Amino acid sequence: MKKLSFSLLLGFIVISNVLFANGVAIKDAETSEYFRLVSSDVDVTVYDQIAIVIATQKFLNNTGELSKIKYAFPLGEDASGIGLRWNLGNTWYSAIISPSPQDTTLPGGGTGNTNLMDFLGETPLFFNLEDSIPNDSILIVELTYVQLLPYAFYEVDFNYPNDYSLIQNELLDSQHIHFSLESQRAITNIELLSHTPGYIFFNDSTAEFDFEVFEVPANHDYEAIYDLNPEDLGLFSYSTYLTDTAFNCDEYGNGFFTFIVEPDPQSEIIQKVFTLIIDRSGSMSGDKIIQARNAASYIVNNLNEGDYFNIVDFSTNVSSLFEDHVAYDLTSQSSALAYISNMYANGSTNISGAFSTAIPDFATNDTTLANIIIFFTDGQATAGLVGTNEILDHIQGLININEVSNLQIHTFGIGEDANQSLLSQIASQNNGLSEFLGDDELEEIITTFYMKIRNPVLINTQISVDPPLLTQIYPNPVDNLYLGQQLIMVGRYQEASTIDVTFSGEAFGQPQSYQYTVDLADTTIFTNQFLTKLWAKKKMDNLYILYLTFDPESPEAEEIREEVIGISICYNVMSPFTSYTGGGGIVSIEYDETVEEYTEELSYAYPNPFASEAYIQFIVNQPAFELATLRIFDSFGRLIDVETILLTGEGTYKILWDGADQEGNPVPHGFYFYTIQYGNQMLKGEIIKL
């Protein structure tokens, strides 16, 4: 798993295809004492490539005594938790986001055993349950998150690491995954590669599969793919407008949007002038230098005809394959592969020297070409210039003196010793991506990233809107467009309208633009509520990059940290500075897990809209002698109120809602929705307070 990086906004979005795995209920990490995982249920809903996943695990306290545990989940860095709750004694409790970093210590002390650490990866989510859990009792934990699925060349990948064998080998009572997809682009295929589904189908706009198994160990990952029509391209948009006047997180407007843009596959590819800068200092010895050689060889073998390239490698001293960029052909390819094979690691880390050699090579380049540097290192600068600001000023000076234009510098930090602040700023100042990797990820990540940027079709990309209603747009700056890749943008608006969106830039030194017409929603679209979470994550990503440019103790860094915390808490999306904690209170009484599908036909609210109070009426069409539970939610999905009524059989029932929350405070005007639950039935509806 990759180390925490919130630098995805700086350039082309690199997304891991690893989602979440099953969580672990840890009693003692040193002695490998965990609650037994009894069952795993994964529910996935995807809109184009935007996935909302609910991962639910059921654990048994089989330790023989009353125990406390820490819940740990192998969270992917490119996904954001948007909800966590747990069930004890037939009652659901909800976690809240706390304005403090998460506690990463493990029960039992130390760093835990190797299997646990390998399973959790580099960026786990931790949550301390404050409750003591009786022996032989059941604990259920449910984590909800939003994530962009990886896409390349019309194929979308889904991978859920369901292999739990590093933690336990016992049989699970059940394992279940349900996957549903809605796509604005035509779906041409969907496959569950890893298992034989109970059913699977697709048509142009929807797809679905389901898999369930009983009494077997969890020892295989879920792997699925779906393909989209390569001729069905352009801009696809999602938007929603919060009519709920209780929304007061910021002043950017109540509208949220996401654009997914992909250029025409017939677009002509812009040739590249490309330099790969390789760290071969002593700390790169062993497996890392092998990975570096393999990644470099892969890139050399996948350059395009018409490209120009060079390789710069550095330790204490700096070397380069050629004196200047040369045309890619069989002769230069052969020379490069031989050069790479003789590369070995020793010496110090001369980052400034590497750029002193690489950047002047771009001085005389044709400005119609795409100038690209990929730079990776595993350490701090220890030779040449060593200060962060010194190196940054040095790089910008080299660019200015040599009059280099259209330069992208993508930086990759390997392992714990890489200077994240330096690498993030190099990328952000030069239209690039910054990403931080584990020690064993270099070859995979670099080669995958290169294939994404291999074929640029629009450089120096800008976005304009007529009328200019959009604000808070990310990524900022806008990334270049690449063949077979997507640009995903999020933002805000105050006024709904039909707008013209233009992406403009250069192709072969000539102006080029793509124009699209978009209708922004003027009302709350319930299925698009995830857009608020997606925007909050991207906004926090952007702020975190800015945070890395300051001393962590500086007033500027503290101001940014407080802003990120405020967004995280108000939008209920995790950040680097916040954590889940108990204290959210009771969410609801436990219900039967075999809830049937939601339905609106059997319930309605009146009057609707209402001013002070309203009745929610519903029909019970089966013998039922139990409590029915009404839950009221706001447009952010936050629980507002809970009411119950005793059912005495079939018939029509109604529950009065006084327009107040659980503490009796009147709620603001706005949009709300409700659910009514009894037995295995779940009804739903919408209601508006004037």
Contact of 429 with 393, CB cutoff 8 Å: no
In angstroms, rounded to a whole number, what is the distance separating the alpha carbons of residues 22 and 557? 35
Contact of 55 with 142, CB cutoff 8 Å: yes
Contact of 275 with 310, CB cutoff 8 Å: yes
Q: Write out the two tokens for 678.
A: 């009894």
Q: What is the 3-state secondary structure (H, E, C) of 437-481?
A: ECCCCHHHHHHHHHHHHCCEEEEEEEEEEECCCEEEEECCCCCCE
442-453 helix and 287-301 helix, angle to the nearest 10 degrees: 20
Helix (H) or strand (E) holding 513: strand 510-519
Residue 586 within any structural domain of the chain = no
Residue 511 within any structural domain of the chain = yes
SS3 of residue 60 by DSSP: strand
Residue 114 within any structural domain of the chain = yes
Complete edge-to-edge strand list for the sheet that includes strand 456-466: 481-482, 456-466, 498-507, 510-519
* Total domains in the fold of the chain: 4
CATH number of the domain that residue 244 is part of: 2.60.40
Residue 659 within any structural domain of the chain = yes
Q: Write out the two tokens for 624.
A: 């039922």
Of 221, 195, 227, residue with least CA distance to 209:
195
Whether residue 449 sits in one domain with residue 349: yes
Whether residue 262 sits in one domain with residue 204: no
Q: Phi and psi at residue 334, in whole multiples of 5°? A: -65, -40
Whether residue 259 sits in one domain with residue 302: no
Q: Which of the residues in the chain have pLDDT under 70?
A: 1-21, 76-77, 110-112, 244-247, 263-269, 365-368, 439, 507-510, 583-601, 635-637
Angle at 669 between CA 628 and CA 652, to 5 degrees: 25
DSSP string for residues in 234-273: EEEEEEEE---TT--S-SS-SEEEEEEEE--TTSPPPPEE
Whether residue 34 sits in one domain with residue 175: yes
CATH number of the domain that residue 642 is part of: 2.60.40.4070
CATH number of the domain that residue 324 is part of: 3.40.50.410
Domain that holds residue 404: 272-454
Burial of 661 (0-12, 13-18, 19+ CB in 10 A): middle
Residue 486 within any structural domain of the chain = yes
In angstroms, rounded to a whole number, what is the distance separating the alpha carbons of residues 177 and 224? 11
In angstroms, rounded to a whole number, what is the distance separating the alpha carbons of residues 436 and 377? 10
Of 299, 25, 318, 267, residue with least CA distance to 143:
25
Whether residue 245 sits in one domain with residue 189: no
Residue 322 within any structural domain of the chain = yes
Of 341, 280, 338, 342, residue with least CA distance to 312:
280
Q: Write out the two tokens for 351.
A: 């980052």
Whether residue 106 sits in one domain with residue 49: yes
pLDDT score at 11: 29
Domain end, chosen from 528, 544, 570, is at 528
In angstroms, rounded to a whole number, what is the distance separating the alpha carbons of residues 664 and 636? 20
pLDDT score at 550: 84
Contacts of residue 231, Cβ cutoff 8 Å, sequence gap at least 6: 265
- In single-letter form, the type of residue at position 336 comes to A
Whether residue 201 sits in one domain with residue 91: yes
Residue 610 within any structural domain of the chain = yes
CATH number of the domain that residue 82 is part of: 2.60.40.3680
Torsion of CA 635, 638, 640, 646, to 10 degrees: 100
Whether residue 316 sits in one domain with residue 299: yes
Helix (H) or strand (E) holding 38: strand 36-47
Contact of 221 with 161, CB cutoff 8 Å: yes
Domain end, chosen from 528, 553, 585, is at 528
In angstroms, rounded to a whole number, what is the distance separating the alpha carbons of residues 649 and 628? 11
Q: Which residue in the block uniquely carries the two structure tokens 């029909």? A: 619
Whether residue 180 sits in one domain with residue 242: no
Contact of 39 with 173, CB cutoff 8 Å: yes
Whether residue 443 sits in one domain with residue 311: yes
Number of residues that this document lists for the chain: 690
Residue 12 within any structural domain of the chain = no
Whether residue 209 sits in one domain with residue 96: yes
pLDDT score at 22: 80
Whether residue 261 sits in one domain with residue 276: no
Domain end, chosen from 454, 474, 502, is at 454
